[in-house]
C-alpha cells in the first residue's frame, strides 16, 4: 500500500543510516485487515489497566545543604522557582480533598528534566533547611538522577530514555521521529533508512538514551517509533506531548511514557517543592494504601515522616504501598500548632497508584500534579473559527471546568493585538471543546485564542470555508481552439496572491513566463493564456506549469491538483530546489489524444458484480521478466508492453484486470524506467507499487515509453484499456485517496482544509501523507471529480479503493453514483478494514465492513475468508485450513456462502473472496512458511502446489466475487535467491521486508529469505515468471496449477451455481454436506463438502480434503444421489468436462474417498437430480447452523482469527470494539435490510 511514508520522521545531526533508501507505501493495508475478537479487546483493556512501570526508584538521595553534611552531600538549589515553567491553570485547581479521578494529570507523557530551573537569590529569611538526614527507605529503590554517566542535554533538545530495547543488536534498530523536530526522519531517507541507528545510543543508569533536536519554533509534540533494518515498526507510533517549554526529557519503559524516572512497582514518590527552600520541620502524614512499614515511622500527631531526602524535583519521601487503592496524606509544618500545622488544610487523596510512581506538590498549592512541571491537565491545544460569530477551542480535557472560570482565563485578540469581547461560551466535556461566541466577522483578521501561556491562531476551519467558498465551477487547465487558448483555475481562498509559472515544453527547468491570476468570489483564481499573453505561443499544449501561491508573506510552488498530465518526474531531485518539490503540471487536451473509438467493456456473462473474476497485476511486473525480452516489441514494464501479453489473460478466462496504481506517484525516477533491475534487492530501488500519490488525475510516466512526452502516457494507457476491452475484459484501477505521498501536496494549496483535521486544527496524516478529508466539500470534489474523469476519459470499468475504511461512506457512494451514470456496469471494491479516523470528534459512517449491510455500491475484501483458509496478519504463517490447521467447519462454510463472521454481508456481492494480493507473502510462499517445507525439494514443491490448488478452488467455488493475485495461478514466489543469502545471514544483512523461512526441524531453507512486501524490490523479485506460467516441460507442477486454475475459472463462468445473486438464494441453494459431529466429521476439521444448485437445476457438489491423509466423506439420504453425477475436478484437472479416470478421487457405494490434499467437484445434471429433495438440508445440518447463529448472537462464538491489532494510531481500541461488534452482528444473518441498486 504506498511507499509507506508514515513509517517516517526525523532526528539528529549525527546519524548512521540503515542502507535502505525509501519507503514505498505498500504494507499496511492488509496489516490493518486484522480479524478481531472480543476476548482480545478485553485482554488488552485489562493489560492496560494493570500495567505498572518497572523502573526502580532512587536511593542515592541528594542531601539538603547542612553544616553537618559530609563532603558527598549535594546542595538543594537555593530558592529554585519552578513555577515559571508550569503554565499552571487556575481554572481547575483541585482542593487538597480531591479524589483520584480529579487529580491534575497530563495524558500524553513526555519526561522533562528540571535541571535548568531559574536560580533566585535568597535573603536571610529564606535560607534552605539546615539539617537533613536520611529517612528509612527501601534500598532497592534506585532512580537514575543526573549522573556523571549522562551527558548534559543541549538546548532545544528532547532526550528519550529507554529502559530496554527490542533487540540486543543495536545496529539493527533505528529511531524514527516526526512532528515538531528539526529534521524528520523521512527527510534523512526513506523507510526505514531515515531512522537514526541505535548504535549511536548512549547509556546511563536507567538504560539507553537518544537526543532529538527540536524544531526552531515552539515545539508541542514529538512522535517516534523504533523500527528495524527489515522495515518493521516494532513499537508502534508513540507521541510525547511537550506540556511545557522546559520539557527536555522523557522516560520510556515498554508502553509506558513518563515525565519523570519511574520507580519500582509498589512505591510512589511524593515530591515536595518549596519556593523558599525551607524544608526543616516539614513532614508527611500518611494513611490509606501506605504500607505499615511507612505508617509505623509516624509518631503521635503531628509527628509525621520528615522530608530528609532531596532530588531533582525538591524534597521527597518514597512511600511503600500495601495496595493500589487510595493513598491519603497531609503536608505538615511541625513548627506550628493546632490546625496551622497543616500546610494545606484539606486532605490530599491520590487514587491513580497503578499508573503513577511519582507525584508532585508545590508550596501551599492544593493540587496533586503528575508531572514535575506543575502543569495542569487543562491545556489549550487548538482553535479554529467556525462561523463569523463563533470560535471553537480544543482542550486536553474539560473535566471539572466551569464556564465562569474559563471565561476569566480565555482571551481573544486580532492580528493587531486588539482584544475581542467574548459574549458567551459553551462547553462540551465529551469532545473537550469550547465554542466561544463573539463578533469575529472581520474579513481580513486572523483571531488568536490565548489560555494561560498557550496561544493558537483560530483560522477558519473547513466547515466555515465550505459555507463561504464551496465552488462548483471548472478547475484545472482546459484547452480550447487546438491549444491556442488555455483556461486555468485553482481554488485557494486564503491565498493573498496566485501566479502561474510557465515552463518551456522542451525544458521543464526553464521559466518562460509568470502571470498573475485573478481571484473570484468563491476563492477560485483564474487566468486565460492566449496569443495575447505576450509569449508568441500559438499552441500551449505540451508546456508545463506550477502555481505560485503567496500567503502571509510566504510563497510556495504547488502542483495543480486537477492536472491531466505531468512533466517527467524524479523524486531524487525533490529536495534540491523548490521547483522540484512536486511535479510540474502539463497542458494537454486528453480528448484529442489516443484512440477515438475507445468505449466501455462488453464482458460476456457479466451482469452483476458476483459475475466478476478479478485479477490483480502490476504494470511493470507483468513484462519485466528478462526471459521474454526478445518477444516484446515495446519497452518492457510499460502500458504498451502489457498489451502484448493480454492474450494470456484472455485465455485464463478472468473478467477484469485490476491494475495496481497507475496515477502519478511520488517516489520514483521515471526517466530511469528503461533500466532493468536484475540483482536481488528489496530496498533502495527505482521501483514502486504506487501507493504514494501526488496526482489523482494524471498518469505516472513510469509506464510510458517516453515519460518526457506528457501526451504519450495518455495515448498508451488508452491503447491498453482498449485492447483489454477488445478481449472481452474490463479494467479496474487501484486508487489511493486515503493518503497522499506528502502532506504538503494539498496543505500548500489551502492550509487546514483538504485533509481530515485533528482537534488542534492540524492535518491528520497517514503513512507520512495527509488523509484526504472527503467530508469536506472541495476534498470530496477531488475524489468524485477524478473518478468521474477516469471513467469518462479512459472508459475504465471499476475501482479498488485502498484503505477504503478511511473514507466516509457518503463520499464513496457519491463517486459510485457518478461513475455508474457514465458506465452502468461499473464495479467498485475496497479494503473495508475498520480504520476510519475522519475529523477528530466528528464521527461519520465509514466506508468499511460495517457499511456493507447498508449498501450495494461497493464490496469489501473478506479477511475472515483469507485468515480461515491460509492465515493472515498478524498470524501470517500459522497453520490454517489449506496448510494443515483444522478450522471450524461452520465458519468456513459461512465464508463460502459469502457470509463472513466478522461483518454483516446481506448480499454476496458485498464480499471479495481472496487469499492473496500484492501485500504480504505470495500464496505459494505463505504455504511454504506454514508447512515448513523448502520448495527447493521437489516433493515439497509438489505438496505446496497441491495445497495451492485447494485454495484456488475454494476461492473460485465460493459465493461472492473472487479475486486472484497475478501469478497465484502458477505459484508465484518472491524468494530472495541471491547466492550471498544461502542460509541465515547476520541481522544487519537481512533483506528489507523479508521473512526467514525454516524447515520443520528449525533449519533454514536453502534460500531462506522471502519478501513479504516487495514495494521497493527489484525485477528479479517482482517479475511475473512466464516460464512457470507456460512451460510445462520445465515446470510441470507450476503449469499444472495454472491449467487447473484456468479450468476452475471456466467452470465458474459456465454456470451461475457459484455466483448466486442474493443471500436468500444462497441460503436456499447452498447446503453443507459435511455436518460437524456426523460421520466422523469434527467441529474443527480439514475436510469440507458442500453443494450448490444452478438456476437451470444442475447440482454442483464440492469436496475438499485438506488433510494429508486419505479421507472418505459419507453421503447419506438425498446426498447419495450425487454419486450418480460426473466428476469434473480431481487432484490435477479442473473444467467443465467429465473426467474418465479422476486422480485421487474414488466414488464408493456410500460416499467419496479423496486422497490427501485433493478436491473434487461432482456435477449432477438437472435431468439426473431430484430438485425437490436433493437441495434440502438435513435437519441436523440446519440445527447446527441455527445453533451457530444463536451462539454468535449471545456473544459466545468468536470466529476471528487475528489476535492483535497493529499499533497504527490513537483509535486502535475503538477499531477493535467496532469490528468485534460487527462480528457479533454477522451471526444475525440477513436481519438488516438494504435497498438494492443493480
Catalytic residues: 802, 831
Burial class (CB within 10 angstroms; exposed 0-12, middle 13-18, buried 19+) of 702? buried
Residue 38, CA atoms < 13 Å, CB-side half-sphere? 12
Nearest alpha-carbon partner for 606 in 563, 565, 675, 656: 656
> What are the backbone angles phi and psi of residue 6, rounded to the nearest 5°?
-70, -10
Q: Which residues contact 25 (CB under 8 A, 6 or more apart)?
A: 1, 2, 3, 4, 5, 689, 691, 692, 736, 739, 741, 767, 768, 1015
Q: Give me the sheet containing 1151-1154, strands edge to edge.
A: 1111-1114, 1151-1154, 1145-1147
Show the cell assigned to 404.
465562569
Per-position b or e across 536-571, b if 16+ CB within 10 A of its CB = ebeebbbbbbbbbbebeeeebbbbbbbbbbbbbbbb
Q: What angle do CA 807, 826, 835 make, to 5 degrees?
A: 15
Show the cell assigned to 1181.
445440518
Gap between the Cα atoms of 680 and 685, Å rounded = 10
- Quick check: helix, strand or coil at residue 373? coil
Cis ω on the peptide bond leading into residue 24 (within 30° of 0)?
no
Secondary structure string (H, E, C) spanning 1045-1084: HHHHHHHHHHCCCCCCCCHHHHHHHCEECCCCCCCCCCCE
Gap between the Cα atoms of 905 and 849, Å rounded = 8
Q: Cell numbers 497517514 label which residue? A: 766
- Quick check: helix, strand or coil at residue 310? strand
Show the cell assigned to 261.
524516572
Gap between the Cα atoms of 690 and 641, Å rounded = 19
Q: Cell numbers 529503590 label which residue? A: 141
Nearest alpha-carbon partner for 498 in 475, 479, 465, 473: 475
Q: Give me the sheet containing 267-273, strands edge to edge.
A: 309-311, 314-320, 267-273, 358-362
Q: Cell numbers 509516624 label which residue? A: 298
Gap between the Cα atoms of 195 and 396, Å rounded = 30
| Cα of 1203 vs its chain's centroid, Å | 17
Show the cell assigned to 1214.
475503538
Residue 220, CA atoms < 13 Å, CB-side half-sphere? 11
**Alpha helices (runs of H) in 678-803, residue ranges in sequence order:** 712-726, 744-747, 777-794
Show the cell assigned to 180.
515538531
* 454: number of Cβ within 10 Å: 17
Nearest alpha-carbon partner for 883 in 1108, 1144, 1161: 1108
Burial class (CB within 10 angstroms; exposed 0-12, middle 13-18, buried 19+) of 792? middle
> What are the backbone angles phi and psi of residue 784, rounded to the nearest 5°?
-70, -40
The 8-class DSSP code of residue 594 comes to S
CA distances from 464 to 139, 387, 497, 754, 1091 (A): 60, 6, 21, 13, 57
Amino acid at each position: 500500500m504506498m511507499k509507506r511514508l508514515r513509517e517516517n520522521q526525523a532526528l539528529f545531526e549525527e546519524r548512521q543510516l540503515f542502507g535502505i533508501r525509501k519507503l514505498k507505501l505498500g504494507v499496511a493495508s492488509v496489516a490493518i485487515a486484522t480479524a478481531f475478537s472480543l476476548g482480545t479487546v478485553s485482554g488488552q483493556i485489562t493489560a492496560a489497566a494493570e500495567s505498572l512501570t518497572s523502573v526502580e526508584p532512587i536511593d542515592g538521595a541528594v542531601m539538603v545543604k547542612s553544616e553537618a553534611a559530609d563532603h558527598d552531600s549535594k546542595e538543594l538549589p537555593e530558592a529554585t522557582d519552578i513555577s515559571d515553567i508550569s503554565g499552571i491553570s487556575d481554572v481547575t485547581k483541585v482542593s487538597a480533598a480531591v479524589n483520584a479521578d480529579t487529580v491534575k494529570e497530563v495524558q500524553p507523557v513526555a519526561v522533562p528534566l528540571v535541571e535548568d530551573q531559574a536560580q533566585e537569590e535568597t535573603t536571610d529569611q529564606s535560607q534552605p533547611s539546615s539539617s537533613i538526614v536520611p529517612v528509612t527507605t527501601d534500598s532497592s529503590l534506585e532512580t537514575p538522577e543526573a549522573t556523571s554517566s549522562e551527558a548534559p542535554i543541549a538546548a532545544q533538545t528532547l532526550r528519550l530514555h529507554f529502559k530496554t530495547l527490542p533487540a540486543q543488536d543495536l545496529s539493527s534498530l533505528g529511531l524514527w521521529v516526526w512532528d515538531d523536530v528539526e529534521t524528520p526522519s523521512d527527510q534523512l531517507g526513506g523507510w526505514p533508512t531515515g531512522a537514526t541507528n541505535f548504535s549511536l545510543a548512549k547509556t546511563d543508569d536507567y538504560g539507553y538514551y537518544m537526543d532529538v533536536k527540536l524544531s526552531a519554533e515552539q515545539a508541542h509534540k514529538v512522535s517516534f517509533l523504533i523500527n528495524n533494518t527489515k522495515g518493521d515498526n516494532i513499537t508502534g507510533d508513540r507521541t510525547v506531548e511537550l506540556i511545557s517549554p522546559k520539557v527536555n526529557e522523557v522516560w520510556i519503559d515498554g508502553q509506558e511514557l513518563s515525565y519523570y524516572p519511574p520507580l519500582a512497582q509498589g512505591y510512589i514518590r511524593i515530591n515536595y517543592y518549596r519556593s523558599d527552600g525551607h524544608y526543616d520541620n516539614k513532614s508527611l502524614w500518611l494513611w490509606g494504601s501506605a504500607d505499615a512499614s511507612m505508617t509505623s515511622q509516624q509518631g503521635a500527631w503531628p509527628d509525621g515522616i520528615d522530608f530528609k531526602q532531596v532530588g531533582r524535583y525538591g524534597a521527597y519521601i518514597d512511600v511503600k504501598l500495601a495496595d493500589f487503592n487510595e493513598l491519603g496524606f497531609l503536608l505538615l509544618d511541625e513548627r506550628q500548632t493546632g490546625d496551622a500545622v497543616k500546610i494545606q488544610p484539606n486532605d490530599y487523596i491520590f487514587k491513580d497508584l497503578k499508573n503513577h510512581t511519582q507525584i508532585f506538590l508545590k508550596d501551599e498549592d492544593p493540587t496533586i500534579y503528575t508531572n514535575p512541571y506543575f502543569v495542569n491537565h487543562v491545556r489549550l491545544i487548538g482553535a479554529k473559527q467556525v462561523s463569523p460569530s463563533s470560535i471553537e477551542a480544543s482542550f486536553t480535557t474539560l473535566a471539572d471546568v466551569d464556564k465562569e472560570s474559563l471565561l476569566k482565563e480565555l482571551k481573544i485578540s486580532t492580528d493587531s493585538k486588539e482584544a475581542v469581547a467574548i459574549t458567551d461560551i459553551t462547553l462540551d466535556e465529551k469532545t473537550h471543546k469550547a465554542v466561544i461566541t463573539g463578533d469575529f466577522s472581520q474579513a481580513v483578521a486572523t483571531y488568536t485564542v490565548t489560555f494561560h501561556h498557550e496561544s493558537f491562531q483560530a483560522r477558519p476551519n473547513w466547515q466555515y470555508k465550505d459555507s463561504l467558498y464551496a465552488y462548483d465551477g471548472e478547475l484545472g487547465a482546459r484547452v480550447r481552439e487546438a491549444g491556442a487558448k488555455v483556461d486555468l483555475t485553482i481554488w485557494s481562498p486564503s491565498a493573498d496572491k496566485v501566479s502561474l509559472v510557465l515552463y518551456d515544453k522542451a525544458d521543464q527547468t526553464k521559466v518562460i513566463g509568470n502571470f498573475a491570476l485573478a481571484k473570484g468570489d468563491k476563492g477560485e483564481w483564474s487566468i486565460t493564456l492566449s496569443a495575447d499573453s505576450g509569449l508568441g505561443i500559438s499552441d500551449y499544449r505540451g508546456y508545463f506549469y506550477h502555481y505560485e501561491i503567496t500567503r502571509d508573506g510566504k510563497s510556495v510552488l504547488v502542483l495543480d491538483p486537477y492536472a491531466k498530465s505531468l512533466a517527467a518526474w524524479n523524486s531524487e531531485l525533490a529536495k534540491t530546489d523548490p521547483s522540484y518539490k512536486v511535479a510540474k503540471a502539463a497542458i494537454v487536451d486528453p480528448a484529442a489524444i489516443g484512440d477515438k473509438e475507445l468505449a466501455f467493456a462488453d464482458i460476456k456473462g457479466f451482469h452483476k458484480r458476483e459475475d466478476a473474476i478479478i485479477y490483480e497485476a502490476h504494470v511493470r511486473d507483468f513484462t519485466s521478466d528478462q526471459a521474454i525480452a526478445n518477444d516484446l516489441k515495446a519497452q518492457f514494464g510499460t502500458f504498451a508492453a502489457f498489451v502484448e501479453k493480454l492474450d494470456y489473460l484472455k485465455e485464463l478466462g478472468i473478467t477484469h484486470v485490476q491494475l495496481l496504481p497507475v496515477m502519478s506517484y511520488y517516489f520514483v525516477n521515471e526517466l530511469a524506467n528503461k533500466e532493468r533491475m536484475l540483482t536481488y534487492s528489496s530496498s533502495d530501488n527505482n521501483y514502486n507499487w504506487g501507493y504514494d500519490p501526488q496526482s489523482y488525475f494524471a498518469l505516472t510516466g513510469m509506464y510510458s515509453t517516453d515519460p518526457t512526452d506528457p501526451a504519450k502516457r495518455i495515448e498508451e494507457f488508452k491503447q491498453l484499456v482498449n485492447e483489454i476491452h477488445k478481449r472481452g475484459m474490463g479494467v479496474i484501477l487501484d486508487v489511493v485517496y486515503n493518503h497522499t505521498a506528502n502532506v504538503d501536496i494539498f496543505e500548500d494549496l489551502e492550509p487546514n482544509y483538504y485533509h481530515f483535521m485533528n482537534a488542534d486544527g492540524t492535518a491528520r496524516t497517514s503513512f507520512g501523507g495527509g488523509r484526504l478529508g472527503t467530508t469536506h466539500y472541495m476534498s470530496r470534489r477531488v475524489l468524485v471529480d477524478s473518478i468521474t474523469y477516469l471513467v469518462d476519459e479512459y472508459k475504465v470499468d471499476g475501482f479498488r479503493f485502498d484503505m477504503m475504511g478511511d473514507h466516509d461512506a457518503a463520499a464513496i457512494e457519491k463517486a459510485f453514483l457518478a461513475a455508474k451514470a457514465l458506465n452502468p456496469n461499473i464495479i467498485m471494491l475496497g479494503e473495508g478494514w475498520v480504520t476510519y479516523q475522519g475529523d477528530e470528534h466528528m464521527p461519520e459512517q465509514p466506508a468499511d465492513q460495517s457499511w456493507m449491510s447498508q449498501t450495494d455500491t461497493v464490496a469489501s475484501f473478506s479477511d475472515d475468508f483469507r485468515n480461515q483458509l491460509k492465515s493472515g496478519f498478524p498470524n501470517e504463517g500459522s497453520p490454517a485450513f489449506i496448510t494443515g490447521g483444522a478450522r471450524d467447519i461452520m465458519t468456513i462454510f459461512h465464508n463460502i456462502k459469502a457470509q463472513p463472521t466478522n461483518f454483516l454481508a446481506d448480499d454476496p456481492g458485498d464480499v471479495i473472496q481472496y487469499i492473496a494480493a500484492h501485500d504480504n507473502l505470495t500464496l505459494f510462499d505463505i504455504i511454504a512458511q506454514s508447512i515448513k517445507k523448502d520448495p527447493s525439494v521437489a516433493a515439497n514443491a509438489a505438496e505446496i502446489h497441491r495445497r495451492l490448488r485447494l485454495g484456488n478452488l475454494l476461492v473460485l467455488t465460493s459465493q461472492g466475487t473472487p479475486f486472484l493475485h497475478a501469478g497465484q495461478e502458477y505459484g508465484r514466489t518472491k524468494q530472495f535467491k541471491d547466492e550471498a543469502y544461502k542460509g541465515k545471514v547476520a541481522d544487519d544483512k537481512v533483506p528489507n521486508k523479508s521473512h526467514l523461512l525454516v524447515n520443520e526441524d528449525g533449519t533454514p531453507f536453502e534460500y531462506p529469505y522471502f519478501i513479504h512486501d516487495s514495494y521497493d524490490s527489484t525485477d528479479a523479485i517482482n517479475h511475473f515468471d512466464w516460464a512457470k506460467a507456460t512451460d510445462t516441460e520445465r515446470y510441470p507442477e507450476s503449469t499444472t496449477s495454472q491449467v487447473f486454475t484456468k479450468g476452475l475459472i471456466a467452470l465458474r463462468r459456465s454456470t451461475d451455481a457459484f455466483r448466486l445473486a442474493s443471500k436468500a438464494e444462497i441460503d436456499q441453494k447452498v447446503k453443507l454436506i459435511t455436518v460437524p459431529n456426523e460421520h466422523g466429521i469434527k467441529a474443527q476439521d480439514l475436510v469440507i463438502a458442500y453443494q450448490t444448485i444452478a438456476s437451470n437445476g444442475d447440482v454442483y457438489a464440492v469436496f475438499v480434503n485438506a488433510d494429508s491423509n486419505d479421507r472418505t466423506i459419507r453421503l447419506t439420504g438425498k446426498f447419495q444421489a450425487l454419486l450418480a453425477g460426473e466428476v469434473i475436478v480431481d487432484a490435477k484437472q479442473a473444467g467443465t468436462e467429465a473426467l474418465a479416470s479422476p486422480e485421487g478421487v474414488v466414488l464408493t457405494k456410500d460416499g467419496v474417498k479423496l486422497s490427501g490434499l485433493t478436491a473434487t467437484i461432482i456435477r449432477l445434471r438437472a435431468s439426473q437430480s431430484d430438485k425437490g429433495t436433493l437441495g434440502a438440508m438435513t435437519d441436523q445440518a440446519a440445527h447446527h447452523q441455527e445453533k451457530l447463529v444463536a451462539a454468535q448472537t449471545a456473544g459466545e462464538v468468536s470466529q476471528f482469527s487475528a489476535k492483535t491489532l497493529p499499533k497504527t494510531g490513537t483509535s486502535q481500541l475503538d477499531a477493535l470494539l467496532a469490528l468485534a461488534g460487527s462480528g457479533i452482528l454477522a451471526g444475525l444473518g440477513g436481519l438488516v435490510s438494504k435497498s438494492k441498486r443493480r
